[in-house]
């Protein structure tokens, strides 16, 4: 969605310091040449007086109209967008100067966001700056200073400030792909192979004809060979319901150049949601422990993808103690798959996962802790090692309860776990 912004202040043509310097310098040199009768001083002052007269004679008239148009206000991380500055320049303007603010959330090209564009006579001046969001989230970016200059920089219009634009950067949704089906699908339609037979496309078996079988399922080669009607059966293709449970209670940062745990968690949630929604499954989202709890009920379709990306782009880190056992509010039914996405730096997320598994739900924990770097302080290094040892024991303990923990590694990182979960018997959901 494009958006056009105008400056909050008016711009007027004013003489520059260069013009005043040339005028004063030329007059002083001319006066000194006359008083001292030195022709060399007159030679030095004549070009300055000539340029001053030229600038005054060609002074621009009329005030320009500045506008800034952003090509999209909802880009994805790393997506290149355009920030176009236009100036309806009156006659006499020679160049348009643009200086866009560059910070840690946005990468701007050209370097430092400074660009100069020549102005054609009688035409609107246009300058385009390319930018990329470095991190997901909602920020006010692209505050820009613009100005017009006349020939020889004698007169300047501006600079005026174009206010920043509210940008909502969506998290990365790629790369992720999984060829494994869902563990226990229960829906009516979809692409997941069911354990039972029904209408589908994958061959299951050939059996004798029974009353009620469709004629199009008759397998004529076997029927002709045996002398009795036989039909071929297939596995049913069903959908399932996936709940993404994002732990936003903490945000661990290993170093400034690497993504944080919350970055990995948000990007993993976006990739998983986009992947499963594209397969036709129903996907819901709950952000637990963040500054503002968020919940997206399970649904399917492109509109659901937009809802989930909007919610993920507005996630804010909590204070560290917001992940509680009673935080999960979604209603879960039989066959649902719960994916807990967490760095597992506390015991409460693992306790919640264990309680959901004891209720008979299929639970999968996605570990989004980034690679750790060495600490400069020896006490910090020792404390980190102790916490990592405790974390490993907690992960092994919950693994013994039947809840697998897998690190987030992009494409195919969940295939083996999903296949293993699909081999288990269908769990019984206990309503509480």
User: Residue 121: which CATH number?
Assistant: 2.60.40.10
Q: Lowest mean pLDDT: which of 1-10, 148-157, 158-167, 313-322?
A: 313-322
Tell me: do 85 and 216 sit in the same domain.
no
Tell me: do 323 and 389 sit in the same domain.
yes
pLDDT-based confidence at residue 187 (cuts at 50, 70, 90): very low
Cβ neighbour number for residue 432 with a 10 Å cutoff: 6
Residue span of the structural domain in which 390 resides:
241-422
Q: Using CA atoms, how far apart are residues 228 and 226, in angstroms rounded to an integer?
A: 5
Q: Lowest mean pLDDT: which of 133-147, 186-200, 226-240?
A: 186-200
Tell me: do 314 and 370 sit in the same domain.
yes
Q: Using CA atoms, how far apart are residues 337 and 178, in angstroms rounded to an integer?
A: 15
Tell me: do 247 and 227 sit in the same domain.
no
CA–centroid distance for 327 within its chain: 25
pLDDT of 220 over the 60 cut: yes
pLDDT of 185 over the 50 cut: no
Is 362 part of any domain? yes
Tell me: do 297 and 377 sit in the same domain.
yes
Domain count, the chain: 3
Give the mean model confidence (pLDDT) for residues 406-431.
64
H/E element, 422: helix 415-422
325: CB partners within 8 A, 6+ apart? 348, 351, 352, 355
Cis preceding linkage at 175, omega within 30: yes
Of 238, 266, 299, which one is at a domain's C-terminal end? Answer: 238
pLDDT of 66 over the 80 cut: yes
Is 338 part of any domain? yes
Tell me: do 357 and 410 sit in the same domain.
yes
pLDDT of 399 over the 80 cut: yes
Indicate the pairing of strand 230-238 with strand 13-15.
unpaired
pLDDT of 428 over the 60 cut: no
Tell me: do 164 and 203 sit in the same domain.
no
Tell me: do 215 and 249 sit in the same domain.
no
What pLDDT, on the 0 to 100 scale, is given for residue 420? Answer: 67
Q: Using CA atoms, how far apart are residues 312 and 137, in angstroms rounded to an integer?
A: 8
pLDDT of 376 over the 70 cut: no
CATH of the domain at 299: 3.40.50.410
Q: Which pTM does this prediction carry?
A: 0.71
H/E element, 5: strand 3-5
What pLDDT, on the 0 to 100 scale, is given for residue 189? Answer: 46
Is 28 part of any domain? no
Give the mean model confidence (pLDDT) for residues 141-149.
89
Return the closest-CA partner of residue 187 out of 282, 278, 262. Answer: 282
313: CB partners within 8 A, 6+ apart? 74, 136, 137, 138, 168, 169, 170, 171
Is 373 part of any domain? yes
What pLDDT, on the 0 to 100 scale, is given for residue 238? Answer: 47
Is 321 part of any domain? yes
Indicate the pairing of strand 294-299 with strand 282-288.
antiparallel
What pLDDT, on the 0 to 100 scale, is given for residue 337? Answer: 84
Tell me: do 371 and 393 sit in the same domain.
yes
Tell me: do 250 and 221 sit in the same domain.
no
Give the mean model confidence (pLDDT) for residues 360-369.
86
pLDDT of 250 over the 50 cut: yes
Percent of the chain beyond pLDDT 90? 7
Is 30 part of any domain? no
Helices 17-36 and 39-57, interaxial angle, to 10°?
Answer: 150
Q: Are 405 and 344 in contact (CB under 8 A)?
A: yes
Tell me: do 136 and 150 sit in the same domain.
yes
DSSP letters, 357-376, are HHTT-EEEEEE-PPPP---S
Cβ neighbour number for residue 270 with a 10 Å cutoff: 27
Tell me: do 119 and 71 sit in the same domain.
yes
DSSP state of 151: G
Is 349 part of any domain? yes
Q: Are 33 and 42 in contact (CB under 8 A)?
A: yes
Of 206, 221, 238, which one is at a domain's C-terminal end? Answer: 238
The structure tokens listed for 315 are 């996630």
Exposure of 169 by Cβ count < 10 A (0-12 exposed, 13-18 middle, 19+ buried)? Answer: buried
pLDDT of 14 over the 60 cut: yes
Return the closest-CA partner of residue 92 out of 120, 65, 127. Answer: 120
What pLDDT, on the 0 to 100 scale, is given for residue 146? Answer: 92
């Amino acid at each position: 969605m494009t958006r056009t912004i105008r400056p909050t202040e008016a711009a007027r043509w004013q003489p520059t310091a260069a013009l005043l310097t040339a005028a004063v310098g030329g007059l002083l040199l001319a006066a000194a040449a006359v008083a001292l009768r030195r022709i060399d001083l007159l030679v030095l002052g004549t070009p300055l007086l000539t340029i001053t007269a030229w600038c005054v004679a060609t002074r621009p008239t009329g005030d320009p109209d500045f506008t800034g148009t952003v090509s999209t206000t909802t880009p994805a991380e790393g997506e290149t967008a355009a920030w176009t500055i236009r100036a309806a320049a009156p006659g006499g303007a020679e160049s348009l100067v643009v200086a866009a603010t560059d910070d840690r959330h946005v990468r701007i090209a050209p370097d430092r966001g400074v660009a100069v564009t020549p102005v054609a006579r009688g035409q609107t001046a246009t300058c385009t700056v390319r930018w990329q969001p470095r991190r997901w989230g909602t920020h006010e970016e692209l505050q820009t200073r613009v100005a017009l200059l006349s020939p020889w920089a004698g007169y300047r219009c501006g600079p005026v400030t174009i206010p920043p634009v509210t940008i909502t950067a969506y998290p990365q949704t790629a790369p992720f792909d999984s060829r494994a089906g869902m563990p226990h699908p229960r829906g009516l339609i979809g692409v997941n192979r069911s354990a039972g037979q029904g209408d589908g496309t994958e061959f299951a078996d050939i059996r004798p004809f029974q009353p009620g079988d469709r004629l199009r399922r008759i397998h004529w080669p076997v029927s002709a060979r045996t002398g009795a009607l036989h039909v071929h059966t297939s596995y049913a293709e069903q959908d399932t319901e996936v709940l993404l449970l994002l732990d936003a209670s903490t945000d661990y940062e290993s170093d400034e150049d690497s993504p944080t745990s919350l970055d990995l968690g948000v990007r993993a949630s976006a990739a998983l949601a986009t992947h499963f929604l594209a397969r036709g499954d129903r996907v819901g989202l709950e952000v637990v422990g963040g500054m503002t709890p968020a919940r997206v009920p399970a649904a399917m379709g492109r509109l659901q993808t937009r809802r989930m990306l909007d919610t993920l782009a507005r996630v804010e880190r909590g204070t560290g103690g917001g992940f509680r056992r009673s935080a999960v509010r979604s209603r879960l039914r039989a066959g649902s798959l719960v994916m807990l996405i967490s760095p597992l730096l506390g015991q409460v997320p693992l306790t919640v996962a264990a309680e959901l598994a004891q209720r008979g739900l299929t639970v999968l924990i996605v570990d989004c802790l980034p690679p750790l770097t060495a600490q400069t302080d020896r006490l910090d290094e020792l404390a980190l090692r102790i916490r990592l040892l405790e974390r490993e024991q907690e992960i092994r303990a919950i693994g013994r309860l039947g809840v697998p923990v897998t690190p987030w590694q992009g494409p195919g990182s969940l295939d083996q776990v999903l296949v293993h979960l699909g081999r288990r018997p269908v769990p019984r959901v206990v309503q509480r």
